[in-house]
Structure 1
Amino acid sequence: MAMNPETLLNAPPIRVVQDWSDKDTILYALGVGSEELDFVYEARLKALPTMAVVLGYPGFIWRNPQWGVDWTKVLHGEQSVVIHTPFPASGHFVGETRIARLMDKGADKGAIAIVERRITDGASLHYADVVATIFLRGDGGFGGSPDGAPVPHQTPADRAPDISVSLPTASNSAMIYRLSGDFNPLHIDPDIARAGGFDRPILHGLATYGVAGRALLSALVDDDPARIQRMDVRFSRPIEPGETIRTEIWIEGEGRAAFQSKSVERDVTVLSHGYCEFAV
C-alpha cells in the first residue's frame, strides 16, 4: 500500500493527556545523565527544558495502516523545541500532534514530513511547540512539491568554538531513557540492533539531544532552565551508551548560540546544525 498524503495531512491531531509527576521529571533527568540536585531531587526540583520532547508524546505513529507509510524506513532527522512557558516539575500536560507538511524528494530519495506537537495545560497555558523533521525514505514519488523543508542553522566554519562542555553517558543510559516513553527495541535488544546494522543497542537520538541541552544549560544560563527558549539540532550519527559527548558552542550574539556535539571516543559529529536561543 502506497503512502496516502491526503490522509496524513487531513488526519485529526493525535491528542495525548498526561498527569506528570515529580518522579517522571526525575526519571527523564536521569535518562539524560543529570546528577545535579536541582533536576533529580524532589525537594528543589526543576524540569529540564528538553523534557518537552517526551511530554504529550504519541509514540511511534508511523505504523498506522491507514497512512501507508513504510515505517521500516522512517528516520528522525531534525528536532526543534520552542518554549513559551517554562515547565513545572509536575502538572497536567496535553500534547496535540499533527502532520503539518509533506515534501516529495522523489521516488529514489523519499519524502520529508514535518510533525508538529503543541504542548499546553489543556486550558490557557501554552508551554511549547515541538517540531520534528522525519525522513520517510521509502515513500517518495507521490507527486508532491519538493520544497518547504526547514533550512538548518550553520555552525561557524571560520573559528574555534567559544565554549566546549564534555559530559559522559552511562552504559545503561538507553535502558533508563526508554522509560520516559520511547520503547523502540533498537535501544535495548542486541539482536534488533544488529539487524539494524549496529554492533549493539544505541542511545536514543533524543537522549543525546538532552545531554547537549544539559551542556547548553551549564555553559549559557548557569543551569537555569527557565532561560532556555529554543533548541534545534540535526541528528548526524548515533552515540553508543558509555561514550562521552562533547558539545562545542559558538556565541553568535545576545541570547543566540550555534552548537554541535561529538563523540569524544570516535571523534565524529553526532548532532550538527545546532541552534539555541536563551534569555540573557
Structure 2
Amino acid sequence: MNLERLLAKRFSPIAQHISPQDCILYSLGIGIGAAPSDRNHLQFTYEDGLKVFPSMVNVISHPGAWLKEPELEVDWVKILHGEQSFAIHRPLEPGKTYVGSYRISGVIDKGAGKGAMLYLEKQLREKDRDDIVSTVTSTYVLRGDGGCGSTIANAPPVHSIPERPADFECSVDTLPQAALIYRLSGDYNPIHADPELAKKAGFERPILHGLCSFGVATRAILQTCCDNRPERLRAMQLRFSSPVYPGETVVTEIWRDSEIFSFRSRVAERDVVVLNNGRAEVEAA
C-alpha cells in the first residue's frame, strides 16, 4: 500500500435517491417479509406508511471498490471487512436524496507480514441540508499491506461481551436466495452469487454479504430490544467473525445493561460465531 497516496485520497460526495422500491428491496434482502401478514414486517415492505430499515444506512451512497485503484497499491485480494458501526441521528425517509461524505480516519500498521487496519468514516446528510443524519464507520483488514506505516497509535476499543448467561436469544432464518436478493442493493461481488468463484475464494458455496448478516442482527435487536420500533435504535457496532451461508439460521444472544445491549450471533447449523463484540444503543421506551 502507498500510504502517502492513500492519505491524499479525496472522495467526491456521493448522492443517492432512495425510492420506496429501494427501501423495500433492501428489507427483503435481509429477510423481512417472511411473515407477510405481520405488521412488524409490513412497516418495511409495504409502501403505505413505509419506514426505512435502520441498517440501510450502511449501504446507501456507497463509494464502490475504491481500494482497487492502482495508484493506492493496496493488495485488494487480501482485504477483509473487519468491523462496522452506525449511529442514527435522524431516521432516513423513503423518497429523499442523501449525500455521503467519506474520509479515511486512520491506518494502523501491524508490521511487515502482519497486515494493516484501515478506518473509514461516512457522514450522511439529506441533500441541501447541513445536519448529519447518520455516521457510519468501517474497518478493513489489509492482510497484504503490513509495513506501510501508521497514522494512529491505537485501535478504537472493542466492546466486550459479558461473561454471564445471555438475557435474551433471538433466532432468525435466512433465505436460501438471500444473497441474490441482497446484492441488488449495490454489492455485486461475485462470491455472493457464483459457486465457482466462491470456491476459488475458499468457500464451499456463495456466502452471505457481511452487511446482510449485520442487517439480520439488527432485526434481532429491533425485535427483542426495541419492540419493533425502529426510531428507538440509536446505534450499533460489531465485529465480523465468520461468514454466513444463505439459508442458515442466525441465533443472536443479547445482554442488557440499561439502554446498552451487548450481542453476538452464531449460526445454529455449524455452531460458529459469525458476529461478535456487538453493541446496540436503544432509546428508552
TM-score over 0.5 (shorter chain): yes
Q: Are 1:151 and 2:163 an aligned pair?
A: no
Unaligned runs of 5+ in 2: 34-40
Question: Which residue matches 2:16?
Answer: 18
Helix, strand or coil for the counterpart of 1:92?
strand
Shift of 1:145: 5.8
2:267 aligned to which of 240, 263, 268: 263
1:42 aligned to which of 42, 47, 54: 47
Q: Which amino acid aligns with 2:2?
A: N
Question: Which residue matches 2:29?
Answer: 31
Shift of 1:275: 0.2
Alpha-carbon displacement from aligned partner over 1:16-72 (angstroms, at most 9, x marks no partner): 111110000000000000011001000121111100111111122211111110110
Question: Which residue matches 1:100?
Answer: 105
Report if aligned partners of 2:207, 2:245 keep a CA contact under 8 Å in 1. yes
2-structure distance, mates of 1:172, 1:60: 24
1:141 aligned to which of 138, 147, 162: 147
Shift of 1:222: 1.0
Q: Which amino acid aligns with 1:18?
A: Q
1:6 aligned to which of 4, 7, 31: 4
Helix, strand or coil for the counterpart of 2:13?
strand
Unaligned runs of 5+ in 1: none
Superposed, which structure 2 residues align to 1:90-239 within 5 Å?
Answer: 90-122=95-127, 123-144=129-150, 147-157=153-163, 159-239=164-244
Comparing 221-230 with 140-149, greater Cα deviation is found at 140-149
If the length of structure 1 is used for normalisation, what is the TM-score?
0.96
Shift of 1:142: 1.7
Q: What's the Cα RMSD here?
A: 1.1
4+ long deviations beyond 4 Å:
none
Report if aligned partners of 1:9, 1:100 keep a CA contact under 8 Å in 2. no
Helix, strand or coil for the counterpart of 1:141?
coil
Shift of 1:150: 1.7
Q: Are 1:276 and 2:274 an aligned pair?
A: no
Helix, strand or coil for the counterpart of 1:164?
strand
1-structure distance, mates of 2:111, 2:69: 22
1-structure distance, mates of 2:104, 2:209: 22
Label 1:11 to 1:145 Cα distance change in 2 as closer, same or farther (>3 A).
closer
Question: Which residue matches 2:36?
Answer: none
Report if aligned partners of 1:15, 1:58 keep a CA contact under 8 Å in 2. no
Shift of 1:146: 7.0
Q: Which amino acid aligns with 2:29?
A: G
Q: Which amino acid aligns with 2:139?
A: T
Q: Which amino acid aligns with 1:136?
A: L
2:256 aligned to which of 230, 251, 275: 251
Question: Which residue matches 2:37?
Answer: none
1-structure distance, mates of 2:112, 2:156: 21
If the length of structure 2 is used for normalisation, what is the TM-score?
0.94
Report if aligned partners of 1:105, 1:141 keep a CA contact under 8 Å in 2. yes
Report if aligned partners of 2:3, 2:149 keep a CA contact under 8 Å in 1. no
2-structure distance, mates of 1:62, 1:267: 33
Percent identical among aligned pairs is 45
Helix, strand or coil for the counterpart of 1:44?
coil
Report if aligned partners of 2:108, 2:149 keep a CA contact under 8 Å in 1. no
Report if aligned partners of 1:227, 1:278 keep a CA contact under 8 Å in 2. yes
2-structure distance, mates of 1:150, 1:32: 28
Alpha-carbon displacement from aligned partner over 1:154-183 (angstroms, at most 9, x marks no partner): 1111x1111111010000000000000011
Q: How many residue pairs get matched?
A: 276
1-structure distance, mates of 2:230, 2:132: 17
